[in-house]
Amino acid sequence: MRIAIGADHGGYPLNERVIQELDGADHEIIDFGTHVGSRPDDYPDYAVKVGQTVQRGEAEIGILICGSGVGAAVAANKLQGIRAALCGDTYSARQSREHDDCNVLCLGARVVGVELALEIVRAFVNARFSGEERHKRRLKKIADIESAENRSGSAATAKQNRERS
């Protein structure tokens, strides 16, 4: 499987260990770093890189790691078609793929230990969308919300631009 991965300084060194695990399982990794934990950087930058790589189909799934995982999940979920799941247990990781067809896993390096994080990664990577009708129906509703939000967001932005002029 082709997997895009990125982490800010808060996600280092867990990022390195996850990459090592995925390499050992013969996955193809698109690595956006960081590989320097002492230099502060910003999780939205990695969320965009990983998310856009998944959007373009250059990776099947993505993994984002920051200090808590929350910021990475919030940022990634702003990208259309990205369904990022913040997971702290294997059940949620598996179910996020099987039921919600999530395509980005977010981890909090300061929240989960290394061994648990690796179990979560394995659960997420090895799970597949079930394709059950009830899950397809729910995903369509999510896509409809996203489309409606994009339309209303564009109208609101246009209105704000007119008011500033």
Distance separating alpha carbons of residues 1 and 29, to the nearest angstrom? 8
Residues marked active site are found at 66, 99
Beta-ladder partners of 66: 108
Q: What's the burial of 84, exposed, middle or buried (CB within 10 Å: 0-12/13-18/19+)?
A: buried
Encoding tokens for residue 86? 């913040």
32's tokens: 């956006």
Helical packing angle, 114-126 and 14-24, nearest 10°: 40
Q: Tell me the C-alpha distance between 140 and 23, whole Å.
A: 34
* Phi, psi for 75 (deg, rounded to 5): -65, -45
d(CA 6, CA 87): 16
